């Protein structure tokens, strides 16, 4: 853990441990060889199995807590959680003495009302803009309860010394999206939705819903990133031919 000063103890410098690619002129630190003595305080650090499990489950929540928690301060930090409700995540922050304000999705005007926040955790609906970060003088960290960062101005955050963290590298969500893609492909090829509607109407006509097999079909994938690769591996399991750009 890296002890960080509280709100009243002077300027704060973000640690590059969180997301090195978003901090200019910083190099990723070497991984510690020995377990950290503060593994219990910072979930996910030091190799503690229970802490590692918590880190995987809470993602950005535990990193935000690790950034804000170690320093002894007179008051808890003010953390705004917008459209990213996780009871375990909120409990983790509250247990560390932070004041958590939970809201629904916030537009620019609504988010501006929380310009005194020390940290903001958002899902995909709330945009954390350069304008907001410029006004939020206490802001130390922005947490993304998910993988994508397109709703956060990461360039401005890096220039302003605001740490940006997210829930993992997107591998878990990529698998979910790939599974959703195959759910749709199967529903279309096997005429799942019309078949369900027919059963619900008690007018089942089996011959109308024979459909076709995915096996042997040629699947084209535009963009072979994390999601595209997950789709391709599942397509191979279905016996499909795959072409990707």
Q: What is the domain partition of the chain in residue ranges? A: 20-167, 172-244
Question: What integer pLDDT is reported at residue 208 of this predicted model?
Answer: 85
Contacts of 230 (CB under 8 A, 6+ apart): 174, 175, 177, 178
Q: SS3 of 177, please?
A: helix
DSSP readout, 211-245?
---STT-EEEES--SHHHHHHHHHHHHTT-EEEE-
Question: What integer pLDDT is reported at residue 63 of this predicted model?
Answer: 58
* CATH fold for domain 172-244: Rossmann fold (3.40.50)
pLDDT in tens, the chain (245 residues): 333 333 333 433 333 333 333 333 333 333 333 333 333 333 333 444 444 444 444 555 565 665 565 544 446 889 999 986 678 888 888 888 899 999 999 999 999 999 999 999 998 899 999 999 999 999 999 999 887 889 999 999 999 999 998 876 666 678 889 999 999 999 999 999 899 899 899 988 888 888 899 999 999 999 998 899 999 999 999 999 999 99
pTM for the structure as a whole: 0.57
User: How would CATH label the architecture of 20-167?
Assistant: 3-Layer(aba) Sandwich (3.40)
Cα–Cα distance for residue pair 166/158, rounded to 1 Å: 15
Rounded to the nearest 5°, which phi and psi values hold at 127?
-95, 125
Number of Cβ within 10 Å of residue 211's Cβ equals: 15
Question: What integer pLDDT is reported at residue 131 of this predicted model?
Answer: 96
Q: Pinpoint the alpha helices (H) of the chain.
A: 49-58, 60-68, 87-95, 108-112, 130-135, 154-160, 171-189, 192-200, 226-237
Rounded to the nearest 5°, which phi and psi values hold at 91?
-60, -40
Q: Do domains 20-167 and 172-244 have the same CATH topology?
A: yes
Report the DSSP beta bridge partners of residue 241. Answer: 218
């Amino acid at each position: 853990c890296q002890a960080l000063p509280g709100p009243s103890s002077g300027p704060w410098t973000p640690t590059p441990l969180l997301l090195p690619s978003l901090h200019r002129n910083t190099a990723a630190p070497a991984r510690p060889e020995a377990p950290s003595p503060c593994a219990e305080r910072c979930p996910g650090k030091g190799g503690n199995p229970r802490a590692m499990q918590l880190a995987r489950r809470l993602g950005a929540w535990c990193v935000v807590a690790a950034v804000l928690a170690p320093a002894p301060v007179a008051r808890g930090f003010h953390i705004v959680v917008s459209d990213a409700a996780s009871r375990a995540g909120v409990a983790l922050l509250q247990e560390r003495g932070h004041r958590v304000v939970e809201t629904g999705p916030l537009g620019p005007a609504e988010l501006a009302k929380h310009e005194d926040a020390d940290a903001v955790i958002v899902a995909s609906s709330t945009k954390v803009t350069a304008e907001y970060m410029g006004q939020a003088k206490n802001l130390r960290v922005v947490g993304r309860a998910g993988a994508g960062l397109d709703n956060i101005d990461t360039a401005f955050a890096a220039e302003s010394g605001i740490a940006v963290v997210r829930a993992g590298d997107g591998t878990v969500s990529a698998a979910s999206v790939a599974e959703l893609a195959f759910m749709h492909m199967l529903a279309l090829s096997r005429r799942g939705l019309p078949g369900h509607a027919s059963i619900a109407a008690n007018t089942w006509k089996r011959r109308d819903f024979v459909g076709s097999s995915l096996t042997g079909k040629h699947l084209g994938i535009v963009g072979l990133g994390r999601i595209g690769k997950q789709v391709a591996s599942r397509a191979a399991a279905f016996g499909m031919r795959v072409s990707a750009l």
